[in-house]
Structure 1
Amino acid sequence: MRLRNSRVQLVIALAVILIALSVFSYSKIGLKQANVEPAVVTVPTSTHQDSPTTSEAPPTPPVETKNTYPSEQFDVVVIGSELEGLYLARAAADEGLKVKVLDPHKAFGGQILQSQMLFLDETRDDQGHLLVQGRAKELFDGFRNAKIRKLSEFSTYMDKLVKNIPVESGVILNDIEQINTPDSMHKVVSIVYTTEKNEKKKITAGYWVDNSDYAALISRLDAKRLPGLEKFYGQKDIEYMSAGMMMKFTHVDWKKFSTTFNALKPEEKSKQFGGGSVNDSYAIGLSGMTKAYHPSNDRVFLRGLNAVNQRDGEVLINALLVYTVDPSKPESIQEAVTLGNKETASILGHFRKTLPGWEHAELGELPTYPYVREYNHYEMDYVLKPSDLLSGAMFWDNVSIGGYPLDLQGTSANKWGIEMGRPDKYGMPLRSFLLKNYDNVIAAGKNVGSSAIAYGSTRIQPNTSLAAESIGVILGQLHGKQKLREITPEEMAKLQQYLAAHYQIKLTGVTGTNKISGWNEDEIRKLDSGEITYPSYVKTRKKPAVK
């Protein structure tokens, strides 16, 4: 009996031990499970990611997926490689700022190198005094003196402008990061872009400069487009001034061309060529000869010549217009190139028959990009008007002294174009290059703040080149310590003195002839709107009676 009881007690004891071990084991497992932290997973909004599998051991949390691209910081980033904005880049770099050029075009050099627009228009006042100042003077003097005429010579000059300034061509602007400032302005902080090698990069800057021929940056911002020539001509659709296709010829006997032309009597010149002029360097006009050419279609037109002797039998001509070209559309650009270069081959035959010294002329290297004259006009802090130009207005914040006729090149509505007046000289204020409502966006070159009619003059290279250089110097002098908009008249006067002393750029003490003196408000309003065409109006304008 005692033995049996002992066995029963042993079994009970073993059972108790087993139960205790089970409870202890369960409790331990429970504690372990309670201590496992849930994995935190960040799923990018643009990609799909499967849920992680569950295991006893905690998985390694994945790195949070953010768009982390190689990043660079600059004081000034210039978008586009047109000549005008490169002066800003050069001046800012020489003043100690860190500058980079991002070019949306695959090849560097804009209208100069890619369009081969190598016929330079000088700016002069009514007395014939040259208005070209700053670094551009070297280029224009070289062109006039026949030292810079060929594409290779222009290329050498432009390479000097960007020496030691990094340039990336063929970029695509992807994301533009913007913020609102405390004073209710917009500010561009950074841009993510794709390189020509399909790599993503991020760049930040204190100031951004749109130096492209189709407002590559400004058109992506909250900017107001101003009425264009479509309003002036009463057109329904937007249309820009015609693009140009530069024509290059070789094996031209320029000496024979010039000598034969100038041996003719005035009436003979008029009969054979429609007048014009030819000297050792240039052939201008001869519009009677060009009118005799019949284009192959309505989208191309041969106007009067702007021809330059490039030496060695090479001649470059700016005279072939292509209508309804939209520079923001690659397919429109390519169509213009095809139309223009095809027409150039046909024009060659006409020149061989009608121009002395051209009997053995051949086609030279044809451009791969059109000369873009105009795109959209966007509102700046100040928009220049025809009345500003024709009155010779000067501004406290002058960054350029401009001149040149208000030359509206042809459109499909008016193929020959029209001249809207000839200013003596006028000022161009800093405010006309600051994008309205933006804290740090600068316009360069073709993006100048100008009405479509005033743009006929303001667009000319020496005008906006000088402005860009002046702004580059000013940015360097401010060195990020002050915003361009915060400059006072007193501070601007000191900056203009610095430009005069160190760069021989004269922006003050200049007086332009007021050609609309005595006009009333209604006349000025009509001048600015295009209802008055100045050259014809001034011939018939009745002056108000003196009381």
Structure 2
Amino acid sequence: MSERRLQFDVVVVGGGTAGVAAAIGAATVGMRTLLIEKNPYFGGAVTHSSVLTFCGFFAQQEPIEQVVGGVGQQLLDNLGKLGIYAGPYRSPRTGNVIVLLDAEATKYALDKTVQDSDVTPRLHCQVIGASVAQNGIREIECYDHNGRFRVEAKAFVDASGEADLSALAGAEVRFGDDEGRVQAGTLVMRIGGVAADADLNRNLFTKAVLEAKRDGEPYLTKQKGMVLRLPGSNDVLAMFADEAVDGLDSASLTEAEMSARRQSWAYLNLFRRVIPGFEHAFLSQTGPSIGIRETRHVLGEYTLRGEDALSGAKQEDGVARGGWPVEIHKPGVPAEYQHIRDKSFYDIPLRALKVRGLDNLWCAGRIISCDPIAFASARVMGTAFATGHAAGVAAAHYAAMKRVDVTSVRAELVRQGAFV
């Protein structure tokens, strides 16, 4: 069998929200763009971990301000055409502004958003190697069930969620915070059979879990979790099953996945017993994969700092906006929040997306160059649309001209409907 070889201008690794935005951004500039995703669908955590909420599209202030547009807005428009999205939802308890989703509609809307562009998609494809020469990635090695093949390109975007491409190419990366600690992973539960008039007041669930834990019931970690009714059904999304997990290590992932599924059944049985309206509830889905919030971070030409995020700092080379508060998850305890000044937004500079030491590699999504506090805000999927879009446009400009001018990148992002 002859070796398979492909050639593109821009290659994007990872088909989550950041990767989809990066690929469409690059293709809209006019570059031949390949989008590689290991799963059978796009979306990353939203579709593969059932995190059916987009955080970060809107700042938390009143009146609500949208801070992410561009490719992200294209997806919202497609969700609207499917009857899923009619506007943001503000939590009456936290004040957070989110977009509620349906898993199958989101998969289909992502497909349509990609297909409406000139992107070449490759699902079921894993990147396993990278060849570097003269301070840049020359080609990557990929694997599917037909074997290995190579892809050559002029520029690359790492939107893998785990900084896989950056690590394979020898870039500087950091695991977790400065001491190697990562935020907790959570296995999302989708619960069916819940009465339409069931009261989803968080205090009911907190009281039930606290009493069960006092009575010695095992396999319950978090007492305060998110409970939301999903659009288009009476199904409930519940986030309680936390795990301390190394998302890079198969042994750790195996232990966490099995433990979290055991937790999910324990929570379900408790809710059936004590929460009115849950008497006939059933577990319609977990995951499929545990939701990993944090593994590797790329070291870029600038490290976005917690002070930048919390002060709402504006940057001359800002190419994306972060409007989600700092949200830190530790196993088994409620999320810790810190709010952006005036509950507004901050700028994310292009330098934080540029991978240090490799001329033709940009990063996007939760792996961008930031300290632990800034990460706790910038990691969310709405913001990932914005950083991905910017990284894709920057990579396209490099592929076309062997240089990147931030003023031109900003202008192109605006032309494509992004907010900068």
Residue pair 2:189, 2:238 contacting (<8 A) in 1 also:
yes
Residue 106 of structure 2 is matched in structure 1 by 154
Aligned-pair distance for 1:131? 2.0
TM-score, length basis structure 1: 0.66
CA distance in 1, matches of 2:60, 2:335: 22
Residue pair 2:365, 2:379 contacting (<8 A) in 1 also:
yes
Residue pair 2:219, 2:266 contacting (<8 A) in 1 also:
no
Residue pair 2:219, 2:263 contacting (<8 A) in 1 also:
no
Aligned-pair distance for 1:297? 4.3
Aligned-pair distance for 1:204? 0.5
1:187 to 108, 133, 136: 136
CA distance in 1, matches of 2:175, 2:268: 38
SS of 1:336's equivalent? helix
Counterparts of 1:270-281 in structure 2, within 5 Å, are 274=203
CA distance in 2, matches of 1:287, 1:131: 33
Structure number with larger C-alpha Rg? 1
Aligned-pair distance for 1:155? 0.8
CA distance in 1, matches of 2:299, 2:59: 27
Q: Which has the higher contact order (CA 8 A, sep 6+)?
A: 2
Alpha-carbon displacement from aligned partner over 1:8-36 (angstroms, at most 9, x marks no partner): xxxxxxxxxxxxxxxxxxxxxxxxxxxxx
Aligned Cα root-mean-square deviation (Å): 2.8
* Structure 1 stretch displaced more, 99-108 or 245-254: 99-108
1:419 to 337, 357, 360: 337
Aligned-pair distance for 1:98? 0.9
Aligned-pair distance for 1:194? 2.5
Residue 520 of structure 1 is matched in structure 2 by none
Residue 499 of structure 1 is matched in structure 2 by 413
Residue 91 of structure 2 is matched in structure 1 by none
Go from structure 1 to structure 2 and tell me whether the alpha carbon gap of 1:225 and 1:316 turns closer, same or farther (over 3 Å shift): same
Aligned-pair distance for 1:339? 1.6
Alpha-carbon displacement from aligned partner over 1:137-192 (angstroms, at most 9, x marks no partner): 35457465389732110111111232263333444444421112xxxxx2110122
Go from structure 1 to structure 2 and tell me whether the alpha carbon gap of 1:312 and 1:104 turns closer, same or farther (over 3 Å shift): closer
> One-letter code of the match for 2:337?
E
CA distance in 2, matches of 1:329, 1:409: 20
Residue 405 of structure 1 is matched in structure 2 by 325
CA distance in 1, matches of 2:376, 2:313: 17
Go from structure 1 to structure 2 and tell me whether the alpha carbon gap of 1:105 and 1:239 turns closer, same or farther (over 3 Å shift): farther
Alpha-carbon displacement from aligned partner over 1:97-147 (angstroms, at most 9, x marks no partner): 111122345665421221111122243143332323223235457465389
CA distance in 1, matches of 2:119, 2:145: 18
Residue pair 2:124, 2:144 contacting (<8 A) in 1 also:
yes
1:250 to 186, 192, 197: 192
> One-letter code of the match for 2:150?
K
Residue 166 of structure 1 is matched in structure 2 by 120
CA distance in 2, matches of 1:216, 1:125: 32
SS of 1:247's equivalent? strand
CA distance in 2, matches of 1:398, 1:361: 47
CA distance in 1, matches of 2:172, 2:112: 35
**Where does the alignment leave 5 or more consecutive residues of structure 2 unmatched?**
88-98
2:255 to 323, 335, 346: 335
> One-letter code of the match for 1:219?
A
Go from structure 1 to structure 2 and tell me whether the alpha carbon gap of 1:210 and 1:125 turns closer, same or farther (over 3 Å shift): same
Q: Is 1:435 matched with 2:388?
A: no
Q: Is 1:204 matched with 2:152?
A: yes
Residue 401 of structure 2 is matched in structure 1 by 481
> One-letter code of the match for 2:401?
K
> One-letter code of the match for 2:218?
S
TM-score, length basis structure 2: 0.85
CA distance in 1, matches of 2:177, 2:162: 16
Q: Is 1:145 matched with 2:86?
A: yes
Go from structure 1 to structure 2 and tell me whether the alpha carbon gap of 1:293 and 1:189 turns closer, same or farther (over 3 Å shift): farther
Residue 4 of structure 2 is matched in structure 1 by 70
Residue 388 of structure 1 is matched in structure 2 by 308
Aligned-pair distance for 1:255? 2.6
Alpha-carbon displacement from aligned partner over 1:513-540 (angstroms, at most 9, x marks no partner): xxxxxxxxxxxxxxxxxxxxxxxxxxxx
**Where does the alignment leave 5 or more consecutive residues of structure 1 unmatched?**
1-66, 181-185, 232-237, 262-272, 276-285, 508-547
Count of residue correspondences = 395
CA distance in 1, matches of 2:394, 2:11: 15
> One-letter code of the match for 2:366?
K
Residue pair 2:100, 2:230 contacting (<8 A) in 1 also:
no
Residue 178 of structure 1 is matched in structure 2 by 132
CA distance in 2, matches of 1:225, 1:476: 24
Residue 296 of structure 1 is matched in structure 2 by 218
> One-letter code of the match for 1:356?
P
CA distance in 2, matches of 1:227, 1:104: 22
Aligned-pair distance for 1:366? 2.6
Go from structure 1 to structure 2 and tell me whether the alpha carbon gap of 1:203 and 1:478 turns closer, same or farther (over 3 Å shift): closer
Go from structure 1 to structure 2 and tell me whether the alpha carbon gap of 1:409 and 1:135 turns closer, same or farther (over 3 Å shift): same
Aligned-pair distance for 1:455? 0.6
> One-letter code of the match for 2:122?
E
Residue pair 1:119, 1:307 contacting (<8 A) in 2 also:
no
Residue pair 1:337, 1:368 contacting (<8 A) in 2 also:
no
Q: Is 1:344 matched with 2:264?
A: yes
Go from structure 1 to structure 2 and tell me whether the alpha carbon gap of 1:144 and 1:319 turns closer, same or farther (over 3 Å shift): farther
Residue pair 2:350, 2:390 contacting (<8 A) in 1 also:
no
CA distance in 2, matches of 1:137, 1:290: 38
CA distance in 2, matches of 1:359, 1:497: 55
Aligned-pair distance for 1:474? 4.5
Q: Is 1:214 matched with 2:136?
A: no
Aligned-pair distance for 1:463? 1.7
Q: Is 1:82 matched with 2:16?
A: yes
Residue pair 1:85, 1:211 contacting (<8 A) in 2 also:
yes
Go from structure 1 to structure 2 and tell me whether the alpha carbon gap of 1:68 and 1:307 turns closer, same or farther (over 3 Å shift): same
Residue 94 of structure 2 is matched in structure 1 by none
Counterparts of 1:427-466 in structure 2, within 5 Å, are 427-466=347-386
* Structure 1 stretch displaced more, 312-321 or 447-456: 312-321
- Per residue, is there more strand in 1 or in 2? 2
Q: Is 1:311 matched with 2:232?
A: yes
Residue 121 of structure 1 is matched in structure 2 by 55
Residue 63 of structure 1 is matched in structure 2 by none
